[in-house]
Amino acid sequence: MSSATATATATATQTDLSLYSLPNKPALRSAFVGKRLNELRTPALVVDRKVFRNNCDKVTRKAKNRGMKFRAHVKTHKTTEGTRLQVQAAGGVKATICSTMVEVWKIIEEGLVDEGLVDDILYSMPIGGDKIPDIDAAQQRVGDKAIVRVMVDHPAQIGLLDKFNEQSGRTLGWGVFVKVDGGGRRAGVPPTSDQMKDLIKAIVASKHVDIFGFYSHFGQSYASDSLSKGSDYFAGEVECVSAAARVARELGASGSSWVFSAGATPTAHAAVSESEGELNAQIQGLDGVLELHAGCYCMCDLQQHATTLIPTSSLALTVLTRVVSLYPHRGQGPASAQGSAQGEAMCDAGALAFSKDTGPYPGFGRVIAPAGMRDAGWEVGRISQEHGTLVKRKLQLEGEEENSNRRWGDTESEGGANEAAAAHLEIGQMLRIVPQHACLACANFPWIYVIDGDGEGDRDEGGAEAGATELEQQVVDVWVPWKGW
């Protein structure tokens, strides 16, 4: 069956939010605010609120300064507090992206729409028919205070939206994002393909669906290892959505000012870092409004650091763990490809803390605190469900020494200094480890401990004391992620 003639059926589904039981935030604050990190049970997830806020402000401010709109994806942390920091950054942005219906509803129920902080919510999964009534219910809840948008990438989805309006009596039309595949082969269809043409034709023929904009996500941009490559990927995203728009114009689609939404965190960092001249060259002739979107930019992780587009100081998220055993005899023979003469150790954080995602850097996470363990080159080299095996890196990634953004602090030439630092690894030692992928690490924990890294804030608010070490900082808040779908 061709995409042009494919049909779809769906049964409406909706889960009452009250059925999702989340931890009690007031109880968590009562139990943990004011405690030091080294007093917490491990594994635990820690976010530096100051770094998180600075990350949001930096990207949002630079996007605005370059004439771009910004849309904040909330799926990395899925929290009320984190979303507030995103949408209030740099004077405020009111457009958001959600990956789940729970995220959509929580943005609404937590007051972000009623307070005027959010007026545009995009449910970013290509719309399946079962969720259309739920989207409509969310729209009815916000009324004219906000629009709840959907994403489409198949003609059958247009039929489902039309059918819903005709059967339910909904009079409000659907201003949709058309999802464009720029080569990553996730959601979306290629911009000039027959599938895209079939989709546009279905929209043109629809009585209830219009194009709001075109949306592309270059997940392949995570392979960037320089600003130049990141900029090339961003240029590819812009061309991708532009090409789809040209096809739409040729097929008679209406719209006076479409939104061209491009971005992944690496390309977002590149877009706000390149020169104004380079950006203008990329968007020259764009028939609409350029919007930048990103999600992981607020936290960042090893995958982001490996692109060289962020410094270590932008890493807001760490997994807190303790060493539970030492294996000094390991790593001295051919059986251990990742081990070293310093042996190995075990920590109490595994796949259900870090996830099993990997990246350009080897391993599943790198020790960032205490500094001596970071400089010694310890990382999570192997992983099981509830524990990780700590090993020492033998060699740096190619180019790491030359690029200060990619340098982690370890150098093979340190020799004796590394050995001395490694000798201090002890059972019971607490470590803070940066995971490969912040989004999946966040999804693994029931709540997130929040610190202010520089000690700002007073004791009444739980602020860290001046001079506190990396493992003695105080918890200033606890965020509870929105779980469920």
pLDDT at residue 409 tops 90: no
Average pLDDT of the residues in 413-419: 41
> Strand runs (DSSP E) across 111-156, as ranges?
120-126, 147-152
φ, ψ (nearest 5 deg) of residue 227: -60, -40
DSSP alpha helix (H) spans, 92-226: 101-109, 132-142, 155-168, 194-205
Domain that holds residue 327: 303-444
* Other beta carbons within 10 Å of 18: 6
With CA atoms as reference, report the closest residue to 306 among 184, 407, 411: 407
**Higher per-residue confidence, 159 vs 220:** 159
- Report how far residue 323's alpha carbon sits from residue 340's, in angstroms, rounded to the nearest whole number: 17
User: Is residue 374 a part of any domain in this protein?
Assistant: yes
User: Is residue 225 a part of any domain in this protein?
Assistant: yes
- Report how far residue 27's alpha carbon sits from residue 350's, in angstroms, rounded to the nearest whole number: 27
- The band of 276, judged by pLDDT with boundaries at 50, 70 and 90, is low
Give pLDDT tens digits for 353-380.
Answer: 999 999 999 999 999 999 888 888 899 9
Residue type, 379: E
What pLDDT, on the 0 to 100 scale, is given for residue 10?
A: 62
391 and 291 within one domain: no
- The band of 398, judged by pLDDT with boundaries at 50, 70 and 90, is very low
User: Is residue 36 a part of any domain in this protein?
Assistant: no
319 and 294 within one domain: no
317 and 258 within one domain: no
382 and 288 within one domain: no
Give pLDDT tens digits for 219-229.
Answer: 777 777 788 88
424 and 308 within one domain: yes
23: DSSP letter: -
Q: What is the CATH number of the domain that holds 234?
A: 3.20.20.10
What pLDDT, on the 0 to 100 scale, is given for residue 339?
A: 44
pTM for this prediction: 0.89
357 and 272 within one domain: no
What pLDDT, on the 0 to 100 scale, is given for residue 407?
A: 61
Tell which of 253, 270, 299 closes a domain.
299
Cβ–Cβ under 8 Å, residues 222 and 186 = no
Give pLDDT tens digits for 9-62.
Answer: 566 677 677 788 899 999 999 999 999 999 999 999 999 999 999 999 999 999
User: Is residue 481 a part of any domain in this protein?
Assistant: no
184: DSSP letter: S
pLDDT at residue 6 tops 50: no
SS3 200: helix
pLDDT at residue 414 tops 50: no
User: Is residue 326 a part of any domain in this protein?
Assistant: yes
- Report how far residue 133's alpha carbon sits from residue 12's, in angstroms, rounded to the nearest whole number: 6
**What is the number of domains present in the chain?**
2
pLDDT at residue 305 tops 50: yes
330 and 199 within one domain: no
246 and 326 within one domain: no
User: Is residue 246 a part of any domain in this protein?
Assistant: yes
What pLDDT, on the 0 to 100 scale, is given for residue 457?
A: 37
**Higher per-residue confidence, 285 vs 54:** 54
For the purposes of burial, counting CB atoms within 10 Å of the CB of 204, is it exposed (0-12), middle (13-18) or buried (19 or more)? middle
155 and 275 within one domain: yes
391 and 361 within one domain: yes
Give pLDDT tens digits for 182-201.
Answer: 877 788 899 999 999 999 99
Give pLDDT tens digits for 457-471.
Answer: 333 334 445 556 889
Q: What is the CATH number of the domain that holds 324?
A: 2.40.37
308 and 279 within one domain: no
Tell which of 299, 324, 357 closes a domain.
299
User: Is residue 99 a part of any domain in this protein?
Assistant: yes
What pLDDT, on the 0 to 100 scale, is given for residue 334?
A: 44
**Higher per-residue confidence, 411 vs 206:** 206
User: Is residue 369 a part of any domain in this protein?
Assistant: yes
Label the pairing between strands 120-126 and 95-98. parallel
What pLDDT, on the 0 to 100 scale, is given for residue 219?
A: 73
115: DSSP letter: T
Give me 362's structure tokens: 């080897």
Tell which of 299, 317, 352 closes a domain.
299
293 and 311 within one domain: no
